[in-house]
Structure formats: C-alpha cells, structure tokens
Amino acid sequence: MPNRMFSSVLPYFCSGPVCRGFGRGSKDLGCPTANFDYRVIEALPSELDCGIYYGFASVEGFEGVHKAVLSIGWNPYYKNDKKSVETHILHDFGTDFYGRAMKLVMLGHIRPERDFPSLEALIEEIQNDIRVAGEKLDLGEFQSFRTHPFFTEDGKGNS
C-alpha cells in the first residue's frame, strides 16, 4: 500500500554535483554513497520528511539509470550536525564520481530516520533497506521512470 503522506511531493526530481560526504559509507557501512551538496538539500520540499527513500539515479558520464536507495536526514547514529542526502546506487561503477552531476527521482518512502543501538544493527537495517528498494523498484508502476525524459534531457528537475 502506498504511503499517502508523501504522495503530494513524490515523485520528486533533483540533480546536482556529487560531493564528498563523511567518508563512512564504504568504510564503516560497506555501502558507498553519492552525496548531494547543500544547495540540493536546501531545495528539498518541507513535506519531504527525514527518512529512507527509493528511486532511480543516473550519473553524468556513465551509462544507465539504476535503482537507488537514499537517506535524507541527520544520521542519528553518527549525530551529524548537518543534514545530508546520501544515495546508494545499486550498481558498481568501478570508480568514484565526485564532481559529476547526478540525477535522482525519489519515488517512495521506506521508513523514517531513526537511531540504532549498534553499528551492526545499522548495517543490518541498511541491507534491509537496499532489499526493499530493489523489490519496490521492480514493480511495474515504477518502470516508466527508468526512461523518463528527465534522465535523457538537460532538465535539472525540481531543485
């Protein structure tokens, strides 16, 4: 059943350069992320609550539109003092892509942001989020977004 709380802002299209994040996605969590800079974060609609979302993403200079799971928020486990948007693209690019433009369409909400009692519990939940995102994005209702003009045109999206 779709989450109606987010239906007024989803799908949400955004794009911007990939910048360096906190450096813990690959190292601590085994889940590399592409991070948007503050301009994309500040442009997010206020109705888009902190939490875990799924959608599709593409990266300038690389072929394809890929499944993605992302976190919007403060990462309570790490007690961040800055809000972030960290996107894990379900594809191995074989290299980093800092400075390249990433396009992202957020299609659905998985869960709210929350704290975890241990790093192991956080990693387990991230793996579950990745599984849920992959399953949701296989649904027929989302397939048209893989070929949406946003990914093939110069459009910048909502941000």
Alpha-carbon distance of 33 to 22, in angstroms, equals: 10
Alpha-carbon distance of 21 to 78, in angstroms, equals: 13
Alpha-carbon distance of 110 to 54, in angstroms, equals: 7
Catalytic residue IDs:
86
